[in-house]
Amino acid sequence: MNNEQPDRGFKEDLFRQFARIGKCLSSDKRLELLHLLSQGPKPVEKLAQVTDMSVANVSRHLQILLDSNLVKFSKKGTYVIYTLASPEIAEFLTSLWRICEKQLADIARLKTDFMSQYEDYHTLSLEEVLSKMEEGSIILLDVRPADEFEADHISGAISVPMEELHHYLQSLPKDIQIAAYCRGPYCVYATRAVENMRREGFSAYRLEEGVYEWREYLVQRKH
């Protein structure tokens, strides 16, 4: 052992353990699975459907995440239900997305290119939407799947999954203002929902933030 660095072995072992998580996150598919699980528990079959992967492939990725203690599972009948292993993982993912958007110019370009497909959409900030909700001048739709709404949602939001949106709109007067949100800044459901609502004659707005950002906002307000 180098007498000038008696802690060298400890540091090498420590960073080797840290690297386990880094290696686990080197797959785009595993990052997507973690993002989906940050919205609530899901069975393997649902994850396969949403990600357009085979059940076998999803299971392999989940096993790697399991080995790194990033996810955990429980059984419900014949289904295996996966969740994030702790709330801190959702915090880490949000930090990762923000770092990547700040450091990688390609992410901003990808967002701009995608949004350019939707000419008729408008965005309101979380603070604007919450203020309008307090005034009673806007309704907020959660257009994620119903199970994600049940897992957690912005207080006062109404669950209207994308496939139910057209039917739901038939019961609303055209002069009402509507905002829609989904899984956060990189989710496309809200953008598509706003486009559909505006085509049907509604004043509709996209909320970029999701449940995690809303909870962050509440914490910041307390301080």
Give residue-wise pLDDT tens across range 42-100. 999 999 999 999 999 999 999 999 999 999 999 988 899 999 999 999 999 999 999 99
In the prediction, which pLDDT does 108 show? 86
| H/E run at residue 180 | strand 177-181
Q: Are 121 and 60 found together in one domain?
A: no
d(CA 208, CA 179): 10
Q: Is the same domain home to 196 and 120?
A: yes
Q: Is 177 domain-assigned?
A: yes
Q: What per-residue confidence (pLDDT) applies to 95?
A: 95
CA distance 112 to 129: 23
Q: Could you confirm whether 187 is annotated as catalytic?
A: no
**Is residue 97 situated within a structural domain?**
no
Residue 16 pLDDT level (bands cut at 50, 70, 90): very high
Residue range of the domain that includes 69: 8-91
Residue 101 lies in a domain: no
Total domain count, the chain: 2
Look at residue 50 and tell me if it is in a domain: yes
Mean pLDDT of the chain: 93
Contact 177, 203 (CB under 8 A): yes
Cβ atoms < 10 Å from Cβ of 178: 21
Q: Would you say residue 36 has pLDDT above 80?
A: yes
**Residues 122, 193 within the same domain:** yes
Query: Catalytic pick from 24, 100, 182, 187?
Result: 182
Written as six digits, the tokens of 215 are 């909870």
Read off the amino acid at residue 73: F
Q: What is the pLDDT of residues 141-171, one digit of tens each?
A: 999 999 999 999 999 999 999 999 999 999 9
Residue 168 lies in a domain: yes
Q: Among 37, 79, 89, 86, which residue's Cα sits nearest to residue 62?
A: 37
* Contact status, residue 45 vs residue 91, Cβ threshold 8 Å: no
48 in Cβ contact with 58 (< 8 Å):
yes
Residue 25 has pLDDT above 80, yes or no: yes
Q: What is the pLDDT of residue 222?
A: 84
* Residue 120: band (very low, low, confident or very high) from pLDDT cuts 50, 70, 90: low
In this prediction, residue 8 carries a pLDDT of 87
Coil/strand/helix, residue 51: helix
**End-of-domain residue from the set 91, 126, 142:** 91
Share of the chain above pLDDT 90, in %: 83
Amino acid identity, position 167: H
Contact by Cβ (8 Å): 53, 72: no
Whether the CB-CB separation of 158 and 176 falls below 8 Å is answered with no
CATH number of the CATH domain containing 76: 1.10.10.10
SS (H, E, C) 193-215: HHHHHHHCCCEEEEECCCHHHHH
Ranges of beta strands (E only) in 32-157 are 42-43, 71-76, 79-84, 123-124, 138-142
